[in-house]
């Protein structure tokens, strides 16, 4: 038994916030500084009170509509998020309740920006085992809640959003290979080193990053894991039709594509308009490319992500 993607969906909250908009809010930055270093021109920021479950719900509904699957048919729901609504219940359970599904297994996965590729790999294993038939996999984030808006080195990079896919059991392979890795010794280069204890915030509750260290690590592992899943499938990375990397920084995206021998024209890029939406970035880009017709039946699509932990994951799909 195999798993195939039969529907995609996404959602971005509100209106785009440009680099100039951020500067007008009093952040010490400007459009040229951000664009030359990251390629980001705008991002979407959720209004106060709008949580990951709300973004994920709309993305999920759109994916289910494309797939022609009723929420009641799902027997597995996985949400990748580092910004859940609550400590518990899980964001997956909250979305399940709002979809009206009862009985499906539902849980969250926390692998930061690799979260969607992790969740997709987990769902594929459930379906391949024969235990589950239809799965909903969501990446949803409101990273704007964990940003220090006085730190221009991080706050300009991130945005909010959600993306989702529906998987179903099939006799023909759709997910050709997946891979997941982590190196906890690298936890210090990208983290949120705080927590709530006894009702009080302890430590630093904001996202902190060593940009140069992240860049070097990301380019290396993204190239390695792309080669890994392609080797499992018996193809070369340069032969995939589309590469959809984690949308963190255009320099990382370009460097990864160059290492893999994939021309820029075959790399799906949304970071310029969405910023880094963490676990939502890959499914957001996937949905855009499916809906605008770039991804066609028979195309091989390579998804990959890298995030704090450090974690990294990839999946090779055939549509």
pLDDT tens for each residue of 53-64: 999 999 999 999
Task: Say whether 113 is catalytic.
Answer: yes
Catalytic residue among 19, 93, 230, 246: 246
Task: Say whether 155 is catalytic.
Answer: no
Catalytic residue among 19, 51, 191, 276: 276
pLDDT tens for each residue of 131-175: 999 999 999 999 999 999 999 999 999 999 999 999 999 999 999
Per-residue pLDDT at 83: 98
pLDDT band at 201; cut points 50, 70, 90:
very high
Query: Considering the chain, what percentage of its residues have pLDDT values greater than 70?
Result: 100
Cβ atoms within 10 A of the Cβ of 198, count?
5
Answer yes or no: are the C-beta atoms of 4 and 168 closer than 8 Å: yes
Per-residue pLDDT at 15: 97
> Does domain 176-318 match CATH 3.40.47.10?
yes
Q: Give me the phi and psi of 104, to 5 degrees please.
A: -70, 145
Average pLDDT, rounded, for the chain: 97
Q: What is the pTM assigned to this prediction? A: 0.97
Domain extents for the chain? 2-172, 176-318
Look up the CATH superfamily of 2-172: Thiolase/Chalcone synthase (3.40.47.10)
Give yes or no on whether 2-172 and 176-318 have one common fold.
yes
Catalytic residue among 113, 191, 230, 274: 113
pLDDT tens for each residue of 60-92: 999 999 999 999 999 999 999 999 999 999 999
**Burial per residue of 251-283, b for 16 or more beta-carbon CB atoms within 10 angstroms, e otherwise:** ebbbbbbebbebeeeebbbbbebbbbbbbbbbb
């Amino acid at each position: 038994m195999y798993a195939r993607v039969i529907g995609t969906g996404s959602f971005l909250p509100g209106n785009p916030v440009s680099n100039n908009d951020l500067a007008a809010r009093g952040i010490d930055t400007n459009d040229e500084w951000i664009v030359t270093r990251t390629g980001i021109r705008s991002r979407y920021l959720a209004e106060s009170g709008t949580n990951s479950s709300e973004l994920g719900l709309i993305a999920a509904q759109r994916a289910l509509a494309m797939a022609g699957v009723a929420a009641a048919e799902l027997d597995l729901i996985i949400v990748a998020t580092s910004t859940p609504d609550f400590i518990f219940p899980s964001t997956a359970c909250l979305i399940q309740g709002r979809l009206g599904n009862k009985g499906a297994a539902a849980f969250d996965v926390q692998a930061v920006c690799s979260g969607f590729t992790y969740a997709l790999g987990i769902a594929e294993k459930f379906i391949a085992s024969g235990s589950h038939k239809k799965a909903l996999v969501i990446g949803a984030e409101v990273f704007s809640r964990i940003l220090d808006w006085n730190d221009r080195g991080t706050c300009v990079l991130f945005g909010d959003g959600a993306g989702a896919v529906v998987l179903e059991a099939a006799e023909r392979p759709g997910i050709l290979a997946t891979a997941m890795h982590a190196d906890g010794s690298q936890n210090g280069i990208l983290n949120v080193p705080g927590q709530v204890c006894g009702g009080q915030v302890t430590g630093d509750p904001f996202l902190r990053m060593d940009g140069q260290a992240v860049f070097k690590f990301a380019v290396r592992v993204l190239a390695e894991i792309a080669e890994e899943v392609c080797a499992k499938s018996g193809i070369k990375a340069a032969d995939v039709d589309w590469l959809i990397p984690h949308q963190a920084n255009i320099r990382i995206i370009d460097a990864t594509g160059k290492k893999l021998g994939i021309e820029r024209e075959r790399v799906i890029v949304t970071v310029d308009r969405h910023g880094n939406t963490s676990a939502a970035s890959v499914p957001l880009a996937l949905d855009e490319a499916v809906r605008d017709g770039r991804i066609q039946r028979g195309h091989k699509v390579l998804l990959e992500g890298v995030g704090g932990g450090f974690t990294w994951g990839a999946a090779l799909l055939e549509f």
